[in-house]
Structure 1
């Protein structure tokens, strides 16, 4: 498998050749191209295989900041308050 970044184009490709019976071979290949958005730092792009063998590609956005949100115990919500999710 190969991951190549050229300018703002990310190309993921792979090839597998299997030897079959009777001298036959089976060749499988793929190639996918993805345009990287302009707000991604190209030098931050990384790839790895996770524990299931899935290819994971990550990158950081420009101007993206991490925000920490405080958790307060015992908060009660009125019925008309919006709750995004509960844990």
Structure 2
């Protein structure tokens, strides 16, 4: 749509705003989300555990199959990609994709990171920590 112009040729944006109907504007507040949708909205945030024993990420990827997901590690970054091609549903055609990227802590053993997908669509990525307190005991060899 083009802005409306008044008789002097100047843009009259305030008049233009009056012609917008409510469905053309987007409001995102908790007041227009149904109460039953709020727990699902909160659940979609990945849970990250990073303590001295483990590094673990859990995320809801229930809209994707295992074939649609890819977990990669490159340059101390863990990246999770999800992509499913166009599908038809009751409302038309839909295509979904996401990418989440995490900087791995320096004490995570990247060679031993594993990922699991549960039947209810929760992806869990776990890595063990390399235990090092900065001290190292070196054995002494004796020649006898």
Question: TM-score when scaled to structure 1?
Answer: 0.63
1:18-57 pair list within 5 angstroms? 18-20=87-89, 25-57=93-125
Q: Say which one has the larger Rg.
A: 2
Deviation beyond 6 Å, 4+ runs, structure 1: none
Deviation of residue 50 (structure 1)?
A: 2.0
Aligned length: 63
RMSD value over aligned CA atoms? 2.0
- Cα separation, partners in 2 of 1:53 and 1:20, compared to 1, 3 Å: closer
Question: Unaligned 5+ residue runs, structure 1?
Answer: 65-87
Question: TM-score when scaled to structure 2?
Answer: 0.40
Tell me what 2:80 maps to. 12
Deviation of residue 51 (structure 1)?
A: 3.4
Question: Unaligned 5+ residue runs, structure 2?
Answer: 1-68, 133-144
Helix, strand or coil at the partner of 2:83: strand
Tell me what 1:83 maps to. none
Would you tell me which structure has more helix in proportion to its own residues?
2
